[in-house]
Amino acid sequence: MSLKNSVARYTGVAIALHWLIALLIISLLVVGKFMTSLDEADPLRFSLTQWHKSFGITILLLTVARIIWRLSHKPPALPDTIRGWQKFSSGLTHFLLYFLMLGLPISGWIMVSASPLNISTILFEVIPLPHLPLLASMANKAQISELFHEVHAISSGIMIALLLLHIGAALMHQFVHRDLVMERMAPHWKSKETKEGLGLIAGCIGAVLLGLFLINEIRMHQDVTPTVTATSGQNQAEAKSIRSQVNFKLVLMGEDIKGTFAESTVMLNLDMDNPADSSLSATVKTANANTSNPQINDSLPGSDWFNVAQHPEANFVSTEMEMTSETSWLVTGDLTIRETTKPVNFTLNLDPQNNAAKGAFTINRLDYAVGAVEQADDSIAGFNVEIEFDFPLE
């Protein structure tokens, strides 16, 4: 029997987990260094950060699985030719690697949970990852987030050093000492053990992808169709539920983010004979704000934003309506968000051909204390929010 065939090897599952985790760690370290070099207002940095968090939690779960597997499957012994100090340094390096494989994702999770930005983590844009308990409500959470940001950055540097040491030692054993230590973890693509390990990992990945697909499909089919209730005319009739749109747009990280309020009620009374008697009122369910970004959707209902637990609605009531033409009205009124009321005005345009009405106006979110704590300046979230509405008349 050849020396190569007589080398005691890790199990196929251990080998598959080792190389999968190694590939993910190296990729995340490269992406992490790249994304932190980008400007904070760069939309690419925002997107990469979300994927970085998703794969970071994946590494955490895979590492836990790897530790459980190792505790239940004794690793092969090192060759007798390996000296005592080499065994000690190898064991210490592996311990530190496992510690960082757990610590790096956890430090990132703590950093995100305590961050004043309060941006949620949606794993692979499908599964919400909750913040760690207590951190989000702590008074000194900004300091905690900053501390673990430093911990995360320093730990990534240590991880790079350990990986280089680990790879260097493996290459030295393979090409200098030729003691086949690396053979213990090298994949043999035709061996039964490697095929079983790869099959198990591939099956788990396939199951996860299928689960993510199904969850996303369920979420998509649960979307609420935007509707509005409206009446118009001198003598108001019973209100009817009809299709409509109430949209908003804000700037986040230098990128225009568009969203829709999925449920709103509009009461319109246009009196052509006595325009001063006309009125317009609207109610928007702020809990139903929806954008294409799941992280933003999760943050908007929070206490510093719409605070839907205490203020589930935003309201507008006209105080004056002036008919400027047959198809145009100047509307002045009070807009109330989070119990703060401010005057706004806009032009209401009528489209007789399509029997519809539309308008738009812009507000400063800080006037209504929206994001006033977490985003007190406009370096990340812009101050101005554009509101557009479009509804049919019946």
From the list 252, 247, 284, the residue with the least C-alpha distance to 360 is: 247
Q: Look up residue 376 and give its DSSP letter.
A: S
Q: Are residues 185 and 286 in the same domain?
A: no
What is the rounded CA–CA span in Å between residue 195 and residue 198?
A: 5
Q: Are residues 71 and 138 in the same domain?
A: yes
Amino acid at 249: K
Residue with structure tokens 């300046």? 377
Q: What is the mean pLDDT of the chain?
A: 84
Residue with structure tokens 């673990």? 148
Q: Are residues 147 and 230 in the same domain?
A: no
Residue with structure tokens 């943050």? 299
pLDDT of residue 388: 94
Q: Are residues 206 and 254 in the same domain?
A: no
From the list 152, 153, 113, 160, the residue with the least C-alpha distance to 132 is: 113
Q: Are residues 76 and 164 in the same domain?
A: yes
Residue 358's SS3 state is strand
From the list 302, 267, 304, the residue with the least C-alpha distance to 284 is: 267
pLDDT of residue 28: 93
Q: Are residues 203 and 238 in the same domain?
A: no
* 149 contacts: CB under 8 Å, gap ≥ 6: 111
Q: At what angle do helices 141-172 and 84-114 cross, to 10 degrees?
A: 150
Q: Phi, psi (5° rounding) for residue 281?
A: -135, 150
> Which residues constitute the domain of residue 354?
224-392
What is the rounded CA–CA span in Å between residue 105 and residue 52?
A: 10
What's the number of CA atoms in the CB half-sphere (13 Å) around residue 156? Answer: 20
What is the rounded CA–CA span in Å between residue 202 and residue 190?
A: 16
148 neighbors 103 (Cβ within 8 angstroms): no
Q: What is the mean pLDDT of each run of 10 residues along the chain (394 residues)?
A: 59 90 94 86 78 93 93 84 84 94 95 80 82 79 90 95 92 83 81 77 79 68 46 41 73 85 86 87 89 77 88 94 92 95 95 88 95 81 93 78
Q: What would the two tokens of residue 31 be?
A: 């992406």
pLDDT of residue 329: 94
Q: Are residues 298 and 159 in the same domain?
A: no
The β-bridge partners of 230 are 240
Q: Are residues 254 and 354 in the same domain?
A: yes
Last residue of a domain, one of 183, 202, 220: 220
Last residue of a domain, one of 179, 195, 220: 220
Last residue of a domain, one of 178, 204, 220: 220
**Which tens digits make up the pLDDT trace of 251-268?**
887 788 899 998 888 888
Q: Are residues 289 and 374 in the same domain?
A: yes
Burial class (CB in 10 A: 0-12, 13-18, 19+), 348: buried
Q: Are residues 180 and 252 in the same domain?
A: no
Phi-psi region of 364 (alpha: psi -120 to 50; beta: other; left: phi over 0): beta
pTM of this prediction? 0.65
pLDDT of residue 148: 94
Q: Are residues 211 and 293 in the same domain?
A: no
Q: Are residues 174 and 38 in the same domain?
A: yes
Q: List the CATH number of the domain containing 271.
A: 2.40.128.110
Report strand pairing: 279-285 vs 313-325.
antiparallel
CB 97: neighbour CB atoms within 10 A? 20
pLDDT of residue 97: 95
Q: List the CATH number of the domain containing 165.
A: 1.20.950.20
H-type helices in the chain, by residue range? 3-6, 12-36, 43-72, 84-114, 141-172, 192-221, 294-299
* Rg from Cα positions in the chain: 29
257 neighbors 243 (Cβ within 8 angstroms): no
pLDDT of residue 63: 95
Number of domains in the chain: 2
